[in-house]
Structure 1
Amino acid sequence: MNGDATHLRSRNRQHINKRNGFSHSNGAVKESKDDHRCHDHDNVNLMIKKKSGMENGKINCSDKCGLFEKAYFMRWKAEDVLGVVRYHPIPCVFAACMLFFMGVEYTLRMIPASSPPFDLGFVVTLPLNRLLASRPGLNNFLAGLNTVFVGMQTAYILWTWLVEGRPRATISALFMFTCRGVLGYVTQLPVPEDFLGSGVDFPVGNVSFFLFYSGHVAASVIASVDMKRMQRWEMAWAFDALNVLQVVRLLSTRGHYTIDLVVGVGAGILFDSLAGKYLEKHAVGITASGGYSALYAM
């Protein structure tokens, strides 16, 4: 009798515990279905916090700052930074020069409008300018030699097309002189006061000319680049040496500003590249009969 009563009380106690959310098994308390629903609700809240960028009261940058976390510089290490200086010194020098000239640009006093342009090349070649001014015969002799060099440039550029059938240098020169004419006209620079002209200089007769940029230098570069492409190294180095002498003479006679000569070098390289792209696109060459023939990759 007592055993049956004890069994009934135990079953009633288990039923009450189940209604309260707990059940006893082997002395351990197990969570009921209500507890699972409670935990599921907590997990949902945690997911919402993660999506909103908040977790444990702190901002979670995994989503908000993902752009910077995936940035290239975030993967840099100390050895990577030092490796840039070790293996790429030239860009590092350029970076230092950029910062230096940024400072110069903000502190340098500009030349007044009433003053002639400042040209460092003119300052360096001032002794030569005075020498040529005092000796007109020497000035005419050097001008004549420079005109011969211009003739050599022209002859080689035309030879590559008319004789060898390679029009790239000729097209480069056409592009270059056309662009030079446009730029020289839209921005006309004053001829320096101490310009030393010569009747045998090119253009012959001391006629008016465009200063920006130097066609003398650009045409020489076009010819030299073509020579190097054809592995005519001796001719190329000779043209480069004569081009340097040409630059010195033009600065000494004030026939060009320094910037004209420097841009002339870049223009020669640029228009040679553009002519190459033009030929690659069209893949044809103009023949004497007016028709077209396949071009070699020159």
Structure 2
Amino acid sequence: MSTPLRRRSNNNSLNGNHTNGNSKMEKKNNIAKKTDGDDGEGLKTASFMTWTARDVAYVARHHWIPCLFAVGVLFFTGVEYTLLMIPPSSQPFDIGFVATRSLHRVLADSPDLNTVLAALNTVFVAMQTTYIVWAWFMEGRPRATISACFMFTCRGILGYSTQLPLPQEFLGSGVDFPVGNVSFFLFYSGHVAGSMIASLDMRRMQRFRLAMVFDILNVLQSIRLLGTRGHYTIDLAVGVGAGILFDSLAGKYEEMMSKRHSLTNGFSLISKDSLVN
């Protein structure tokens, strides 16, 4: 009996020889034979036909995270088909705005406090920028800089392509970033993505305490951005994913260029010592 999430480690320990090259070839041949049969035979030899209640219990116990997400798929499928959408004449609904109503009222009633928090947030953005540039100029590690370039360019493309309306309750400040209370793209959050890029680089360099400080400040700035209505919740969530994605893409770019470097002459952005796993 076999399922995609069975206890393979136990089976391998009892039957060590089953993991050699011959067993793999036999498994491939068996799969090919199953798929070559007619529909009736294919159904009889399908993997799910061998599942037992014990297999289901094992998956639920040891693989509860994907099970939880599977329940989420079912739940939100129902929500999507039954939810009445926001009418075109209304502002977008944002659960983060609902959760930060109290903070929004405080900031609206205290412009000075709003200015102070905006200034502190701008300082945090300067910290991110300083670290990312420092990593390249002073330490010879351009990955974070490359990632930031990828991220902000794609943010500009997406922000221009679909321009979200500025929330009616937006609380601006002349010292907020971008400084001067100018217009800005909402989707996605460059504040959050830049913080993620810096934090990931810190972890690669085993600067775990500094990375934790940046993560905490990132959470605080996210709460402030929701409280001031400077970003929608989706902007912040995608900002986290964007930071991770573009950091990964920058790493792949470094790896690709490092392979080519030995075949080229002249200046190269990537040095032999710049790759950090």
TM range (shorter): 0.7 to 0.9
In the TM superposition, what are the counterparts of 1:1-298 in structure 2 within 5 Å? 63-283=38-258, 291-292=267-268, 293-298=271-276
Q: Is the 8 A contact 1:119 1:257 kept in 2?
A: yes
Question: Which 4+ runs in 1 deviate beyond 4 A?
Answer: none
Q: How far apart, in 1, do the equivalents of 2:85 and 2:57 lie?
A: 38
Q: Which has the higher strand share?
A: 1
Q: Is the 8 A contact 1:188 1:210 kept in 2?
A: yes
- 1:284 Cα shift? 6.8
Secondary structure, counterpart of 1:283 in structure 2: helix
Aligned partner letter, 1:200? V
Aligned partner letter, 2:61? R
Aligned partner letter, 2:202? M
Aligned partner letter, 1:294? K
Aligned partner letter, 1:129? H
The CA RMSD over aligned residues, in Å, is 1.7
**Identical columns (%):** 67
Aligned partner letter, 1:191? L
Q: How far apart, in 1, do the equivalents of 2:273 and 2:51 lie?
A: 48
Cα-to-partner distance string for 1:193-246 (whole Å, 9 max, x where unaligned): 010000000001111100000000000000001111111011000000000000
The 1:64–1:205 alpha-carbon spacing in structure 2 relative to 1, beyond 3 Å, is closer
Q: How far apart, in 2, do the equivalents of 1:115 and 1:133 lie?
A: 21
Secondary structure, counterpart of 2:139 in structure 1: coil
- 1:70 Cα shift? 2.9
TM-score, structure 2 as length reference: 0.82
Q: Which has the higher contact order (CA 8 A, sep 6+)?
A: 2
- 1:71 Cα shift? 2.1
Secondary structure, counterpart of 2:155 in structure 1: helix
- 1:76 Cα shift? 1.5
Q: How far apart, in 1, do the equivalents of 2:213 and 2:191 lie?
A: 15
Q: How far apart, in 2, do the equivalents of 1:170 and 1:64 lie?
A: 54
Secondary structure, counterpart of 1:241 in structure 2: helix
Q: How far apart, in 2, do the equivalents of 1:277 and 1:190 lie?
A: 35
**Paired residue total:** 235
Q: How far apart, in 2, do the equivalents of 1:266 and 1:295 lie?
A: 28
Q: Is the 8 A contact 1:111 1:117 kept in 2?
A: yes
Q: Structure 1: give runs of 5+ residues left out of the alignment.
A: 1-61
